[in-house]
């Protein structure tokens, strides 16, 4: 542990910054990156300027608060947009598809075959074999309308 006592504080700040940056990659949430930046800037300042540990901690705290608020403002102005908003939402992806009724839709409920799967559906009454169009979903239940 003798080496730890002789370690310059700026190396510790830089290591903390890198660890927080790595943690942001492993557990994305766009929060730790701002703290990582504050730790790295504090480490660089401690490397260049002869400042004591208490002042380094104050600098880190001030930079962390400023970075988090600046990050929130930036993300509010530039929201993260999904490349595919319907990803992992199979029911929404099926909207517009045509399915064949396999269990008559009576009293608004029945089953349809779409591809290699059968789905519970809600919609207007339809006989077995009729084609219906999927208009949306309510959880795992597809909403359908009769085709013209």
Output the pLDDT for position 6: 61
Instruction: Say if CB 129 and CB 101 are below 8 A apart.
Output: yes
- Predicted pLDDT at 26: 87
Domain ranges, ordered by start, for the chain: 2-77, 90-146
DSSP per position, 55-110 = HHHHHHHHHHHHHHHHHHHHHHHS----S-TTTT-HHHHTTT-EEEEEEEEETTEE
Q: What is the pLDDT at residue 85?
A: 64
Average pLDDT of span 8-30: 85
pLDDT tens-digit map of 54-80: 999 999 999 999 998 998 898 899 887
Q: What are phi and psi of 82, to 5 degrees?
A: -65, 140
What is the pTM assigned to this prediction?
A: 0.54
State which CATH number among 2.40.50.140, 2.130.10.30, 1.20.1280.290, 3.40.50.150 fits the domain covering 90-146.
2.40.50.140
According to the model, what pLDDT value does residue 91 have?
Answer: 74
């Amino acid at each position: 542990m003798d080496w730890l006592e002789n370690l310059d504080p700026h190396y510790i700040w830089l290591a903390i910054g890198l660890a927080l940056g790595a943690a942001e990659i492993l557990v994305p949430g766009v929060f730790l990156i701002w703290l990582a930046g504050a730790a790295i800037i504090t480490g660089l300042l401690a490397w260049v300027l002869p400042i004591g540990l208490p002042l380094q901690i104050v600098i880190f705290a001030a930079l962390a608060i400023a970075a988090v608020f600046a990050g929130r403002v930036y993300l509010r102005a530039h929201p993260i947009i999904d490349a595919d908003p319907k990803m992992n939402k199979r029911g929404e992806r099926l909207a517009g598809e045509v399915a064949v009724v396999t269990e008559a839709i009576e009293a608004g409920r029945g089953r349809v075959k779409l591809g290699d799967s059968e789905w519970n559906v809600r919609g207007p009454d339809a006989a077995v074999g009729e084609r219906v169009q999927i208009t949306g979903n309510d959880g795992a239940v597809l909403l359908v309308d009769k085709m013209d």
